[in-house]
Amino acid sequence: MNEITIEQVPRLRRGFRLQWEPVQNCHVLLYPEGMIKLNDSAGEILQQIDGQHSVAQIISELCGRFPNVPGIDEDILAFMEVASAQFWIELH
């Protein structure tokens, strides 16, 4: 896996779309071949990915929204590494 830097700007890969799925009661990532059901944390992180904000800005936003979660910054970086390796996101 490539290491992610906080200066990079993530965006969803072409063909992928994040949406709330009421039937599943969670966010899902849709792509031409199917659907990925996301846990709450993954949904929160992916909602912040808009191709405009850097990894540092996303971490700052989520740390502000969830101030009592220890290690949230490392969890966000780890998730982005996995999402990048799975080709869900691109980093620029």
Q: Quick one: pLDDT at residue 87?
A: 95
At residue 66, φ and ψ (nearest 5 deg) are -130, 70
Phi-psi region of 25 (alpha: psi -120 to 50; beta: other; left: phi over 0): left
Strands (E), 32-67: 34-37
User: pLDDT tens digits for 20-66?
Assistant: 999 999 999 999 999 999 999 999 999 999 999 999 999 999 999 99
Q: How much is the average pLDDT of 67-77?
A: 95
The highest-level CATH class for domain 10-91 is mainly alpha
* The amino acid at 9: V
pLDDT category, 1, cuts 50, 70, 90? low
Structure-token match 């992610």, residue found: 4
